[in-house]
Chains A and B, each alone.
Chain A
Amino acid sequence: MSLDQKDVLHVAKLSALELSEQEAEEFTKDLQDILGYVERLESVDVHGVVPTSHVHGIVNDFRDDIAKNSLKLEEVAEMAPEFKGGGFRVPKVL
């Protein structure tokens, strides 16, 4: 699988990131390297192996429907880059 700068710009747009031309070039190369690395897995013969998304073998891990432990507003506010009037403030999005 190959990836070019167009793909990188597309993903950047989906993530609402602005990349300079130089960054786009760098990331294209980085991502190509990562893909190339993962691609080595394709050499493994998985014929007859059922696709799986989890390897623990554990299922049905639940919690009961009990509400507790919300953070205090001050604690939430403290973590936010910008917090005003009880809410997070972010660049205007429409």
Chain B
Amino acid sequence: MIQYEAVIGLEVHAQLSTGSKIFANSGTEAGREPNTLCDPVTLGLPGALPVLNKRVVDFAIKLGLATNCSITRENEFARKHYFYPDLPKGYQISQYDKPICQHGHLLVRVGGEERRVGITRIHLEEDAGKNVHGEHETTSFIDLNRAGVPLVEIVSEPEIRSPEEAGAYMRQMRQIVRYLDICDGNMEEGSLRCDANISLRKVGTEKLGTKVEIKNLNSFRFVERAIRYEITRQTTVLEQGDEIVQETRLWDEQKASTRSMRSKEYAEDYRYFPDPDLLPIVVDNDWIERIRATLPELPEQVYLRFKKGHQLDDYYCELLTEEKHTARYYDKALEVHHNQTALANWITTELFGRLNKENLGMEECPVSPENLGTLVKLIDEDVISGKIAKTVFDEMFSTGASPNSIVEATGLQQISNRDEIGGIIDEVLTQHPEQIAEFRDGKTKMLGFFVGQIMKRTAGKANPKVVNELLMAKLKGD
């Protein structure tokens, strides 16, 4: 049987988090009352002229530098014509043959392997409005608040080979735009979405097969599932000796399948031409260097620093670098107390657990990194036990208080004083002669009983190491 391999390219659209639209003064906030972010340019009124928002160009250059692109010196906007009511002018202002960034790449990690995926181009464009088609209505509802919101479209080379790789690429792209603070990455609200181009070819051949485009995938899961489905569908078509039709399909999550939306025959005829309303943009070295100076440490760099510098395993590295805020948090906590693994563990288990439960983001975390660092320090210095630390942590999360003040106020300090513990052990042993006899008859699990009794008397505060040591000595010595 013929073996096929998938050839996948992704077009990722990211909404830039500017305060105003790309060519107009209206604001960009999501969730506003429909059509309250409109102005003559957004509405496409005759005579209204677009003027470019400078920050949009800054953001695109920033993304280009972070994804190893070369920045185009002479840029131009073009009109892309298609007729749809969410686009009042009858064309979308985009870039065509002079995109702002070109020839970049990302390193994508899948299952411990790293693969380079090329980025063909990143271009600037305006978003369209929203259509709502009510089921029992004869008209469609148009909201133009989103029309004119700045977008970057990031086009990958067709170098992705599996659904998992596509998902990883998408995750990494989201991570980067969020590190750069140029897009909130909210996929549910559509701030980040992607189209996937998929074709199959016989293994070992170069020639690309006919491609199918799947539109508007707005979750990592959908990206992977839609591509997986499409690979299976195309394989079946080819195995039956039929041909793939070049078309645009939509992912239907409910039916877990793709369905045809339109054939490419008409859709691709966009009649691009340079937009005479907008002047060219010339980007010089100064501009590029000014932006380069604002680049934060990128996820890939943080990952390597954590892996090599802190000897963390891939699992921790991935979790701690997923969000910029988490990486910063970890760095700050380490400044207080340099126990790399313990802090990684506390953040990714206890802290993530509580944040998830309360539905909070890392940036809203009620426990400061300094306080978490201090908490782990208290454990390491035997001031509190690991078990008590969880109680202290809960209190820290609820009140935002420092671990020191909680430990002091509630008397949760660990008891490590040998005399004090020795006295308690003596008391327990005196009260349980039968259990001592059982222990000496070989029932070693009675040891647990004694420890339990001691912990009960000290409300869990006795240092378990000291307890075990003294208890054994007393049981054997007596």
Contact with B along A48-62 (1 / 0, CB 8 A): 000001101011111
Closest to A89 in B: B139
Closest to B16 in A: A65
Closest to A68 in B: B25
Interface assignment of B19: CB less than 8 Å from any CB of chain A: yes
Per the bound structure, the CA–CA distance linking A88 and B84 in Å amounts to: 13
Interface assignment of A46: CB less than 8 Å from any CB of chain B: no
Closest to B131 in A: A93
Specify which chain B residues have a CB less than 8 angstroms from the CB of A15 in the assembled complex: 83, 90
Residues 133-175 of B at the A interface (beta carbon under 8 Å) = 133, 137-144
Q: SS class of chain B's interface: helix, strand, loop or mixed? A: loop
Per the bound structure, the CA–CA distance linking A94 and B20 in Å amounts to: 29
* A53-B276 contact, Cβ under 8 Å, with A87-B141, A92-B133: yes
> Which among B25, B51, B57 has the greatest number of chain A C-beta atoms within 10 A?
B25
Closest to B90 in A: A15
Interface assignment of B52: CB less than 8 Å from any CB of chain A: yes
Contact B83 A16 (CB under 8 A): yes
Interface assignment of A43: CB less than 8 Å from any CB of chain B: no
Contact A92 B281 (CB under 8 A): no
Contact A86 B34 (CB under 8 A): yes
Specify which chain B residues have a CB less than 8 angstroms from the CB of A77 in the assembled complex: 35
Interface assignment of A71: CB less than 8 Å from any CB of chain B: yes
Contact B36 A63 (CB under 8 A): no
Contact B19 A60 (CB under 8 A): no
Specify which chain A residues have a CB less than 8 angstroms from the CB of B266 in the assembled complex: 13-14
Interface assignment of B5: CB less than 8 Å from any CB of chain A: no
What is the distance, in angstroms, from B414's C-beta to the closest C-beta of chain A? 54
* A88-B85 contact, Cβ under 8 Å, with A60-B279, A93-B133: yes
Per the bound structure, the CA–CA distance linking A70 and B81 in Å amounts to: 26
Contact A90 B85 (CB under 8 A): yes
Specify which chain B residues have a CB less than 8 angstroms from the CB of A63 in the assembled complex: 25, 51-54
Contact A67 B35 (CB under 8 A): no
What is the distance, in angstroms, from A3's C-beta to the closest C-beta of chain B? 14
Interface assignment of B132: CB less than 8 Å from any CB of chain A: yes
Interface assignment of A82: CB less than 8 Å from any CB of chain B: yes
Q: SS class of chain A's interface: helix, strand, loop or mixed? A: loop
Specify which chain A residues have a CB less than 8 angstroms from the CB of B276 in the assembled complex: 53-54
Interface assignment of B2: CB less than 8 Å from any CB of chain A: no
Number of interface residues of B (CB under 8 A): 51
Closest to A51 in B: B274
* A59-B55 contact, Cβ under 8 Å, with A66-B20, A92-B138: no
Interface assignment of A1: CB less than 8 Å from any CB of chain B: no
Contact B141 A73 (CB under 8 A): no
Per the bound structure, the CA–CA distance linking A84 and B34 in Å amounts to: 11
Contact A59 B279 (CB under 8 A): yes
Contact B54 A59 (CB under 8 A): no
Contact with B along A23-62 (1 / 0, CB 8 A): 0000000000000000000000000000001101011111
Per the bound structure, the CA–CA distance linking A90 and B139 in Å amounts to: 5
Specify which chain B residues have a CB less than 8 angstroms from the CB of A73 in the assembled complex: 33, 35-36
Interface assignment of B71: CB less than 8 Å from any CB of chain A: no
Contact with A along B43-58 (1 / 0, CB 8 A): 1010000011111110
Contact A67 B84 (CB under 8 A): no
Interface assignment of A64: CB less than 8 Å from any CB of chain B: yes
Per the bound structure, the CA–CA distance linking A63 and B55 in Å amounts to: 9
Contact B141 A85 (CB under 8 A): yes
Specify which chain B residues have a CB less than 8 angstroms from the CB of A59 in the assembled complex: 279-282
Contact B26 A69 (CB under 8 A): yes
Contact A67 B19 (CB under 8 A): yes
Specify which chain A residues have a CB less than 8 angstroms from the CB of B83 in the assembled complex: 14-16
5 closest Cβ contacts across the A-B interface?
A53-B274, A67-B27, A62-B54, A88-B142, A65-B55
**A-contacting residues of B (Cβ < 8 Å)?**
18-20, 25-28, 33-40, 43, 45, 51-57, 76, 81-85, 90, 131-133, 137-144, 266, 269, 271, 274, 276, 279-282
A–B complex contacts, Cβ < 8 Å, 11 sampled? A14-B81, A53-B76, A59-B280, A59-B282, A61-B52, A64-B55, A67-B27, A69-B26, A70-B27, A87-B35, A92-B139
